Amino acid sequence: MSKPAPSTSEKQRVALPRRSEREVPAWLRGIYAGICVYLFLAALGVMGSGLGTFGDASDFLSTLFAYGENPFIALLAGVLVTMIVQSSSFTTALIVALVASGEMRLGTAVFAIMGANIGTAVTGVIVALANMRIRRNFRRSFSAALMHDFFNMLTVLIIFPIEWISGLLHDSGRGLFTRFASWLAELIGLDEVARPGSPIKVITEPVVSMSNNLAGLLTATPAAHGLVVAALGMLLLFIALIFMVKNLRGALLRHMDGLFSTYFFRSDLRSYSVGLLATVLVQSSSITSSLMVPLAGAGVVRLRRVLPYMMGANLGTTLTTVLAATANPVAAAMTVALFHVMFNLTGTAVWYPLRRIPFRIAVWYGKLAANKTRYAFLFLIGLFLVVPAVGIGVVELVMSLR
């Protein structure tokens, strides 16, 4: 049967050329991306400022760490405090200060350091939630965030029992890793130096100050002031991420894709080095690891390069702990800092050869969360809030019954 000839109107429609949208120049998209990144960094600073103000006003952080005599409580408190302030650098510096002042024992401070490494991954999970509207992007970005979580959790599963059991069997009560870090601290003699300011904090200070001023007009108490500032930071974070992801999905992605895949993240070693150097420069693994999440979600960086990058970022953030220890030149404080370095080196040494384990777990749960988003919120609330809070309560109850 012969096909009917198209009508004149159909011919005209076929002949008419499609109207193409005007392409935005690459340099303009680059500026746009820079503004989004700046707002993203500023949002993290605003949230950290607000939550830090809330913690200081309510004396919540110091009170929580005061219960750190038990290793399990110290671990869970480290997770909870870092989740609140969204900065392991802040938490580890606080732990070093508490150890230097004698308010926290060295034997339990190292367990709080482990908890801080888990808690610092909460920012990446929150960042990944901005991609929920697009399932494919959300699956990749959430999987990338989970690699940070599972690397730290699996490392804790190895180091915690070794440290705890070896501490119970030793006269000093200190575990194997702590004793080795203490020996290294005795070999190092450092003068007291001032802790340098982060360049990120300097350039984002105007936005942080503006948010604090705005919250000051709306609130009357310091605790409420901190919560309002944190809420403003959260709002700014999601706005910046939505526009950042939209920009990455456009023409900029085509221009950047070759640079990222062929140079910065061409190999695992380069990925590890980029994560390490970037975190050393900005002194915050929360920032550098969170920046990777939208890049992975947009497909700019392959998922298999994310885990080495996160390992490098984890090691880079230990610089802040070492700097805090040199600003508090006490042997115990330096021991805590060196333990933090050893924790991340050990985790990399163990899990990089076995990287398929954290990688496959993260990808599996990322797919699960992409299909049913409630699993993403279950992971976020359960791991970073419910488990630490309930765990601290249960341990305290058991200890009180003895």
Query: What is the C-alpha to C-alpha distance for residues 387 and 402, in angstroms, rounded to an integer?
Result: 23
Task: Give every CB contact of residue 134 below 8 A, 6+ residues apart in sequence.
Answer: 245
Full pLDDT tens readout for the chain, 402 residues:
455 555 544 444 444 444 444 666 667 767 877 787 788 778 767 876 776 677 666 666 556 665 556 888 889 888 888 887 766 767 777 777 677 766 678 878 899 999 988 988 888 888 888 778 888 889 999 999 999 999 999 999 999 999 999 988 887 778 899 989 888 888 876 444 444 455 667 788 888 889 888 888 888 788 788 888 888 887 887 677 667 656 655 544 455 445 555 567 888 999 999 889 888 876 677 778 888 888 888 888 888 999 999 999 999 888 877 876 766 667 888 888 899 999 999 999 999 999 999 999 999 999 999 998 899 999 988 888 888 888 888 877 877 776
Cα separation of 141 and 95, whole Å?
Answer: 31
Which residues make Cβ contacts (< 8 Å) with residue 113, sequence separation at least 6? 78, 92, 95, 321, 336, 339, 340, 343
- Report yes or no: 240 and 36 within 8 Å, Cβ to Cβ: yes
**Complete DSSP assignment for 240-306:** HHHHHHHHHTTHHHHHHHHHIIIIITSSHHHHHHHHHHHHHHHT-HHHHHHHHHHHHHTTSS-GGGH
Give the pair of three-digit tokens for residue 173.
């009560």
Judged by DSSP in three states, 118 sits in helix
Q: Which of 22, 92, 59 is nearest to 321 (CA)?
A: 92
Per-position DSSP letters for 60-91, written without gaps between them: HHHHHHTTTTSHHHHHHHHHHHHHHHT-HHHH
Alpha-carbon dihedral 298, 152, 363, 127, rounded to 10 degrees:
-30
The CA–CA distances, whole Å, from 389 to 35, 92, 122, 193, 323 equal 37, 20, 15, 36, 30
- How far is Cα 186 from Cα 335, in angstroms, rounded to an integer? 9
Pick from 343, 332, 336, 341: which is nearest to 160 by CA?
A: 343
- Within 10 angstroms of residue 127's Cβ, the number of other Cβ atoms is 30
Residue 261: closest CA among 313, 296, 290: 296
pTM: 0.72
Residue 105: CA count within 13 A, CB half-sphere: 12
The rounded radius of gyration (Å) of the Cα atoms in the chain is 24
Token pair recorded at residue 364: 């599996």
CB 318 within 8 A of CB 338: no
Q: Tell me how many degrees the CA angle 97-103-104 measures, rounded to the nearest 5.
A: 80
Residue 339 CA to residue 17 CA, distance in Å, equals 66
Place of tokens 């150097």: 277
